[in-house]
Structure 1
Amino acid sequence: MKIICRILLLLMVSFQFGCDKTKAEVKSIKNPKGAATKEVITENTTTEIDDYSFPVDSLLKVNLLLTEVFHGDEVDPNLQKKIWFGLFKNGDNYSFSKISVSINQAYDPIIDEEEGEKTGWEVSTTAKDTCVVLVEKLPGFADHTVEFVKIPEYIYPKENLEFQFLGSQYKLYATGEKKKENPDSDWWVVTDYKLYLKTIINGKEVVELLAAKESFEDRMIRIIFAGDIDGDGKLDLIIDTSSHYNTSSLTLYLSKSADKHKIIKPVGIFTSVGC
């Protein structure tokens, strides 16, 4: 029964992310308690895309991993042979450093019927600090203490957030539609969602699209981390870009990988499902 559930879910997720929709499927998103109040957007944006499927997962070639147990089809054990760097959290501080990664077969509590079965893969490191993400080595990566900025996890449509980071002024803002499921509900219905990042480069205003989703299935775009991961003194981001409640799509955006006169670029994604 678990295997049937797993197959059906994968088919459902595949359809959701791989097909063009002609009609928005309206679902509700819970409004987290204590969310920061942000300004209402009154500006118009000139950056548009033709659909609501961004970033495109297949174009993100940098390998990412997390330190957990995953289903057998979610992790390639050959990735153990690559050189890895990890973003680690220790108290209120973050660091980025080279680390050894192990990938071993493990019991998958969702799929395996017997405790002796080991169809899953466990990703682990020798680090004692909390691992936020593992990134395969890219040119210029080096061990360093990571500067970061605390920002809200969620930016809803018609909200924006301005902040400074390492001498630069940034603005995160979102477009789309947001309404309550009903007047007494704590759940929001979010559709036609786009998340943008704005800053000034060489005296010119630059706007970058970060994520776009037509609708959500009890999920919301969530900002995991904001700071200088690649060590170039500019903002990098980690965002969960999934739109389905049972799927996580941890996406890494690096400023050093961006094209000339651009702010940031999505480079890698790690997707996993629950059951």
Structure 2
Amino acid sequence: MKVTFRTLFLLIVIFQFLSCNKSKTETAIKSSVSKDSIKESKLAVNNPVKEDFSFPVDSTLPVKIIQLETFHNDEIEENYDKKTWFGLFKNKNDYSLSETKVFFKRVNDPVIDDNEEDKTGWEVSASVKDTCVILIEKLPYFIDGNILSVKIPENIYPEESFKFNFKGIEYTLFATGKKKKESPDSDWIIVSDYKLYLRTVVDGKETKELLVAKKNFDDQMIRMIFGGDLDDDNKLDLIIDTASHYNASSPTLYLSKPAEKGKAIKPVGVFTTVGC
């Protein structure tokens, strides 16, 4: 009888020991999953945007891009009429890229000019009548014709992500930073320490690149303008308005072909303008 009781006691101890180990293992797994799910949002806390840091830096982007509007004198360079331009055009949900004749005309700038007779402003127009998204100076790998595009959200706020597949490559756009409501009953979100990233997975190999970084915003938010293949290499290119102020516009061109080895994309051009 004593032997039987002792055996039973040992079995209970062993069972409790195994149960304890199993519980610890499950807890560790759950903890690991939880950490992975919030790792991206914690990047902003561990690596906040410095007060003077902004990315990309306009002065480092060599490719010239413009839009079809009227601009201040210093926003259009004198030699622009000598360049060959390609226009990105949108017709309903389809996009095309084509060489386009662009015209530059001096016009009155109501914000700057003192008199109606003064003409310091620039009016930019094009021969193609379709809706023009952007004009880009001719690059060696541009080809006339329709281009494939992908629909992506206009805004990606901190702790949000958008995963998609484009031409067999897996991409994820995700953002880190801080966000809060302007007031408890407001729909307006205040964003700071913002960083937008692009994660790319090709044949199981992952790369992650910073697209935009802004410390603060003034009634403005980073806006996605276009996603698709502009440089004819079957990889994603982007156009993003990277302005952080409501009175500014900064459509920025990101191309995959000029990217450094091991990278998926690179900012190459920007057109920054102010309204008044």
**Which bin holds the TM-score, normalised by the shorter protein?**
0.7 to 0.9
- Judge which range, 107-116 or 193-202, deviates more: 107-116
**Alignment CA distance shift 1:202-1:59 (3 Å):** farther
The residue aligned with 1:228 is 229
| Cα-to-partner distance string for 1:191-246 (whole Å, 9 max, x where unaligned) | 10000000113531100100000111111111011111111111110001011110
CA distance in 2, matches of 1:141, 1:46: 37
Q: Within 1, Cα distance between the matches of 2:156 and 2:275?
A: 24
Q: Is the 8 A contact 2:48 2:177 kept in 1?
A: no
For residues 49 and 143 of structure 1, the distance between their equivalents in structure 2, rounded to whole angstroms, comes to 42
Q: Counterparts of 1:85-104 in structure 2 under 5 Å?
A: 85-104=86-105
Task: Answer whether contact 1:41 1:160 (CA < 8 A) is retained.
Answer: no
2:70 is the counterpart of 1:74: no
Partner of 1:213: 214
In structure 1, runs of 5+ residues without a counterpart are: 1-39
When normalised by structure 2's length, the TM-score is 0.81
Q: Which of the two has greater helix per residue?
A: 2
Compute the TM-score of the two structures, normalised by the length of structure 1. Answer: 0.81
Answer with 1 or 2: which has the greater Rg: 2
- The aligned length equals 236
Percent identical pairs in the alignment equals 58
CA contact (8 A) 1:236 1:253 kept: yes
The aligned residue for residue 186 of structure 2 is 185
C-alpha contact 2:193 2:214 (8 A) present in aligned 1: yes
Alignment of 1:136 with 2:144, yes or no, is no
CA–CA separation in structure 1 for the residues paired with 2:151 and 2:37: 21
Q: Residues 264 and 95 of structure 1: is their aligned pair in 2 closer, same or farther, counting only changes over 3 Å?
A: same
- Kept in 2, the 8 Å contact 1:144–1:231? The answer is no
Name whichever structure is richer in strand by fraction: 1
SS across alignment from 2:112: coil
Aligned to 1:247: 248
User: Which segments of 5 or more consecutive residues in structure 2 lack a partner in the other structure?
Assistant: 1-35
Q: CA deviation at 1:89?
A: 1.0
1:91: Cα distance to partner?
2.0
| Cα displacement (A) at 1:112 | 2.8
Given the alignment of the two structures, is residue 274 of structure 1 paired with residue 275 of structure 2, yes or no? yes
Aligned to 1:25: none
Q: Which amino acid aligns with 2:136?
A: V
